Structure formats: C-alpha cells, structure tokens
C-alpha cells in the first residue's frame, strides 16, 4: 500500500468537516458480496438468462417466481458483515465529520455498521413492499417464503424496494444525494469504476476542496481527482484515524 497517499488522505480527512462518501460494488465485494457486473461474477452459472435481464422490470412482471429464485439466491446475502470501510465511515459520521453516504449497493451493510444517513440510490434488499397495502417486509421474511411472496396482511404481491433495470431512481434519494455532494468539502469515491448510471453524473455536482478516488482499477475520472489511491477500499480505510468529535 502506498502509505504516502494514505497519509495524504488522512490529512484531507483531518481538515474536512462535511465529508461525503460515494460508494460502489467494490465496497461490498470486500464483505464477500459478489458483483454481478464483474467478469468473475458467479451469476451466470445456474441461470439461462443474464442477470441484467432477470433484474429488469419486464422480467419481474412476466416471471416473478424465477425472479425471486434469483433474488433469494444471489441478491440477498444475510451472512455478509460490514468491513473496515463500512466501520470507519460510521465512525466518521459519529465524530461529526461525515454528512452522508451515497451508495449504489443494496445490502444494508453501512446501516449494519452504524451509519445513519445512507442514501441508497438503488434501494435495499432489506425493504420489500406489498404492492397492494404498502406493508414492508425485511430480507429474512422473503427468505422464509417460497415462490412469489404474498403479503401476510392482504395477500398482495410483494416487490423488493430495489431499483430494477428499466425503472427510474427515486427522485427523493437522487435530490438528497445531489444536495449532499454539492455541500461536501471532501468527496471520497470508493469501490466504483464510475461507469454505472448515475455515478459519474452525480460527481459533477461536487464543488468542494478535494476529490479522492479509491479503487483497485483505474477509472475515467482519475484525472479529475486530487488524490487517487489504487487499492482496496477496506484496506485503505482501515489505516485512517478518525479525528476527535468536534464540540
């Protein structure tokens, strides 16, 4: 690890008061959650259709049972635990240094680590909503059902509160994400190659002091960054000392 660069990140964190973290799949893969977009993803093995098709609104409407087989097997991972990145970000929020986490992940690991202001661009597997009465069910409940899950209260069909392909992002989450990024003094982008919509677009709203990119591979935005660390986000964040809580 390039400790000189980690030291530069530490200095930026020490100087910042409104940190926003923008995270992608890489934050979760270090907790053992596979990225279905990556080449080595294991998603193709047991399914005839690609994950992008199964995770589309059309497929959900036409083949809900098959959708739910994939959802239970591949999208819900109840054994995953927060890693050093999740934990350090939660500590930064508790110390009053971090405003918000904007994430493309749907696994709820930031909340499990203790983070409170988490903006989930693509929703969460921990919320599954009855389309008839609006009752909300957690991921454990879905795992205990078979086939197409129906609401305990009214019998309506339950749909994950996850943004499927062909569906638009929540306006509310998007607006709050833009507002957080626009008011940040330090934006740390981690575990994303910034190719998934709307990641790259959101970064344009940042007007703070420093943009830091932490990713194993190079991204298209590297040239824009004030600091670029090519390493695993968990390993990098583990090195960071959380500044003391401000009065």
Q: Which residues of this protein are in contact with Zn ion, per CB under 5 A?
A: 130, 132-133, 135, 151, 153-154, 156
Which among 17, 44, 122, 126 is annotated as catalytic? 122
Q: Which is nearer to Zn ion, 112 or 129 (CB)?
A: 129
Task: State in angstroms the smallest separation of the CB of 140 from Zn ion.
Answer: 18
Clarify whether 122 is annotated catalytic: yes
Q: Which is nearer to Zn ion, 158 or 214 (CB)?
A: 158
Angle among Cα 32, 36, 38 to the nearest 5 degrees reads 90
Q: Which is nearer to Zn ion, 138 or 226 (CB)?
A: 138
**b/e code 212-226 from CB counts within 10 Å (16+ = b):** bbbbeeebebeebbe
SS3 161: strand
Query: Which residues have CB under 8 Å from 65's CB, separation 6+?
Result: 147, 148
What's the start-to-end Cα distance of the chain, in Å? 34
Q: Which is nearer to Zn ion, 134 or 198 (CB)?
A: 134
For 157, which DSSP code?
B
Task: State in angstroms the smallest separation of the CB of 114 from Zn ion.
Answer: 31
The phi, psi pair for 162, rounded to 5°, reads -125, 135
Residue recorded with tokens 């990140």: 9
Task: State in angstroms the smallest separation of the CB of 163 from Zn ion.
Answer: 21
Q: Which is nearer to Zn ion, 78 or 133 (CB)?
A: 133
Query: Which residues have CB under 8 Å from 92's CB, separation 6+?
Result: 13, 19, 98, 242
Q: How many CB atoms lie within 10 A of CB 44?
A: 11
Task: State in angstroms the smallest separation of the CB of 167 from Zn ion.
Answer: 20
Angle among Cα 98, 171, 213 to the nearest 5 degrees reads 40
Dist CA 222 CA 197 (whole Å): 17
Task: State in angstroms the smallest separation of the CB of 156 from Zn ion.
Answer: 4
Catalytic residues: 122
């Amino acid at each position: 690890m390039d400790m000189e660069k980690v030291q530069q990140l530490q200095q930026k964190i020490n100087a910042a008061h409104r940190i926003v973290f923008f995270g992608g799949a890489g934050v979760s893969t270090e907790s053992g959650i596979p990225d279905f977009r990556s080449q080595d993803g294991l998603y193709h093995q047991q399914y005839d259709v690609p994950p992008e098709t199964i995770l589309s609104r059309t497929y959900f409407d036409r083949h809900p049972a098959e959708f739910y087989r994939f959802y239970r097997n591949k999208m819900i991972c109840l054994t995953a635990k927060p890693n050093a990145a999740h934990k350090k970000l939660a500590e930064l929020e508790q110390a009053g240094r971090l405003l918000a986490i904007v994430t493309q992940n749907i696994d709820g690991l930031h909340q499990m680590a203790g983070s409170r202001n988490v903006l989930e661009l693509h929703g969460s597997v921990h919320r599954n909503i009855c389309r008839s009465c609006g009752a909300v069910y957690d991921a454990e409940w879905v795992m205990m059902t078979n086939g197409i899950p129906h609401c305990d209260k009214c019998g309506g069909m339950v749909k994950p509160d996850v943004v499927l392909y062909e569906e638009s992002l929540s306006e509310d989450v998007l607006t709050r994400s833009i507002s957080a990024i626009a008011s940040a003094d330090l934006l740390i982008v981690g575990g994303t190659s910034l190719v998934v919509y709307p990641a790259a677009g959101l970064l344009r709203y940042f007007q703070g002091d420093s943009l830091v990119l932490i990713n194993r591979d190079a991204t298209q935005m590297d040239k824009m960054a004030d600091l670029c660390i090519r390493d695993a986000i968990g390993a990098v964040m583990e090195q960071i000392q959380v500044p003391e809580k401000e009065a």
